[in-house]
Structure 1
Amino acid sequence: MADAELVVQVTGPVATVVIHNPGRRNAMTPAMWRQLPVLLDDLEADPAVRALVLTGADGTFCAGADLGDLDELLAAGDASIAVRAEERLAAFAKPTVAAVRGACVGGGCQLAVACDLRIAAADARFGVPPARLGLVYPTPTTRRLAGLVGPSAAKHLLFTAELVDAERALRIGLVDEVLPVDRLTGRVDELTAAIADRSRLTVTAAKEIVDGRADADRIAWWHRQVLDSGEAREGVAAFVERRPPRFGWTPPGRT
């Protein structure tokens, strides 16, 4: 295994991407930022994968980003490789869950916020440090953070660059659940198994609509999919018959 890389593990319908750079508390290097969209393209195209978990190795999520060449970073602005990777993660068509232990700072927080759900261990710490560095946080990242926690909490994180613990992150909506460290993996496994067992049609449509990526024509298309697929009829029949549903919808063009 390389010192700094993203490691993919697939177990049944769930893919896990592990941020692995233990010598630097899992900081994202330029190569890792470039690697992430490629991995996501492959996992999105894999019909066996129903959900994705993003986590860090050795008890740390991600302590930030390798700033690399500062002049190059400043010139890139919102077109940086980090923003491109974040946007690809946010647009991933399947449900994404960040499983957070330890430091989740800077680029790590950027990635966690781009996931659909964030489940944290009690030892998690979150921070947004650009004000310590004199950098302007990318526009898509800033708006995504504010949409998640609200303007006031986003400003607090951005203005102060303070670390917040898991309980405060839960109160402001930065994370969805906080678990004891020894229960984090089990809860993430339970959650992703439940998601993978649900109607893929429902889950995929819900993600598009909640994220604001479905216009009126697309929403009408989703409703046609419900009628044509028989998914709802199967769900209702399974409920009446008190049995697990046998959902079979797959995105057009996939098997």
Structure 2
Amino acid sequence: MSDAELTVTVTGPVATVTIHNPARRNAMTAAMWRQLPVLLDGLAADPAVRALVLTGAGGTFCAGADLGDLDELLDAGDASIAVTAEERLAGFAKPTVAAIEGACVGGGCQLAVACDLRIAAEGARFGVPPARLGLVYPAPTTRRLARLVGPATAKYLLFTGELIDAERALRVGLVDELLPVDRLAERVDAITAVVAARSQLTVAAAKEIVDDRADDARIDWWHRQVRESGEAREGVAAANERRPPRFGWAPPGRP
């Protein structure tokens, strides 16, 4: 393993992408930002993968972007490799969970917010530091943060650049669940197992609609999938027979 890279492991229906850059508290290098969309494309195409976990190695989620690549990021603006990677993560068709320990700052917070769910360990710290550096936070990133935590909290994080603890992150909606460190992995395994066992038709449609990526035609297409797939009939039959459902729908791609 190199000193700075993303690694992928797949256990059953769950893929885990781990941020690994121990010398820089798992800061994302330019190579790592470029690597992430490639990994996501491969996992999106794998029908066996039903959920994705993003985490950091060694008790730290991600301390941000490696500012050794600052000129490249400044020149690109909102077309930067960091924003491209974030958008690919946000648009990943399958459920995503950020499992967070330690620092989740800057680019790390950017990646966590792009996930569907964020489960954190006690002692985690969160922050958005561009005001400390004279940077303009990317517009897609800023809007995503504001949708998640509300305009006032987003402004507080952006205006001050201060870190907040995990308890406050939970209160403001930046984090969905907060657990002792020794229970984090167990809880992430449990929630991804539940999601992977649910109807993937329901999950995929819900993700698109909640994220406001489904127009009227696409919503009609989802309802047609329900009628044609037999997924709902199987779900109702399983409930009546008091057995686990045998859902079999797989995404055929966009119409």
Identify the residue that residue 160 of structure 1 maps to in structure 2: 160
**In structure 1, how many angstroms separate the alpha carbons of the residues matched to 2:211 and 2:29?**
28
Identify the residue that residue 110 of structure 1 maps to in structure 2: 110
**In structure 2, how many angstroms separate the alpha carbons of the residues matched to 1:137 and 1:104?**
16
**In structure 2, how many angstroms separate the alpha carbons of the residues matched to 1:68 and 1:24?**
11
**In structure 2, how many angstroms separate the alpha carbons of the residues matched to 1:57 and 1:40?**
18
State the Cα distance separating 1:253 from its structure 2 match.
Answer: 5.8
Which stretches in structure 1 are left out of the alignment for 5+ residues? none
Identify the residue that residue 58 of structure 1 maps to in structure 2: 58
Q: Does 1:72 align with 2:89?
A: no
SS in 2 for 1:26: coil
State the Cα distance separating 1:69 from its structure 2 match.
Answer: 4.1
Q: Does 1:133 align with 2:118?
A: no
Q: Does 1:208 align with 2:208?
A: yes
**In structure 2, how many angstroms separate the alpha carbons of the residues matched to 1:152 and 1:200?**
35
Q: Does 1:233 align with 2:233?
A: yes
Change (3 A) 1:193 1:111: same
TM-score by length of 2: 0.98
State the Cα distance separating 1:123 from its structure 2 match.
Answer: 1.3
TM-score by length of 1: 0.98
Alpha-carbon deviations, 1:160-181, whole Å to 9, x = none? 0110001100000001000000
**In structure 2, how many angstroms separate the alpha carbons of the residues matched to 1:71 and 1:26?**
20
Identify the residue that residue 87 of structure 1 maps to in structure 2: 87
Identify the residue that residue 2 of structure 2 maps to in structure 1: 2
**In structure 2, how many angstroms separate the alpha carbons of the residues matched to 1:120 and 1:28?**
19
Mapping 1:171-210, distance limit 5 Å? 171-210=171-210
Alpha-carbon deviations, 1:108-132, whole Å to 9, x = none? 0000000000000001100000000
Change (3 A) 1:80 1:226: same
**In structure 2, how many angstroms separate the alpha carbons of the residues matched to 1:234 and 1:190?**
24
**In structure 1, how many angstroms separate the alpha carbons of the residues matched to 2:180 and 2:50?**
26
**In structure 1, how many angstroms separate the alpha carbons of the residues matched to 2:196 and 2:96?**
11
Query: Contact conserved, 2:29 with 2:69, CA < 8 A, in 1?
Result: no
Q: Does 1:148 align with 2:148?
A: yes
**In structure 2, how many angstroms separate the alpha carbons of the residues matched to 1:123 and 1:186?**
17
**In structure 2, how many angstroms separate the alpha carbons of the residues matched to 1:246 and 1:181?**
34
Q: What is the letter of the counterpart of residue 63 of structure 1?
A: A
Alpha-carbon deviations, 1:167-209, whole Å to 9, x = none? 1000000010000000000000000000000000000000000
SS in 2 for 1:186: helix
Number of aligned positions between the proteins: 254
Alpha-carbon deviations, 1:9-29, whole Å to 9, x = none? 000000000000011100000
Identify the residue that residue 12 of structure 2 maps to in structure 1: 12
**In structure 2, how many angstroms separate the alpha carbons of the residues matched to 1:71 and 1:113?**
24
- The sequence identity of aligned pairs, in percent, is 83
**In structure 1, how many angstroms separate the alpha carbons of the residues matched to 2:35 and 2:70?**
20
SS in 1 for 2:168: helix
**In structure 1, how many angstroms separate the alpha carbons of the residues matched to 2:139 and 2:202?**
30
**In structure 2, how many angstroms separate the alpha carbons of the residues matched to 1:86 and 1:253?**
21
State the Cα distance separating 1:2 from its structure 2 match.
Answer: 0.6
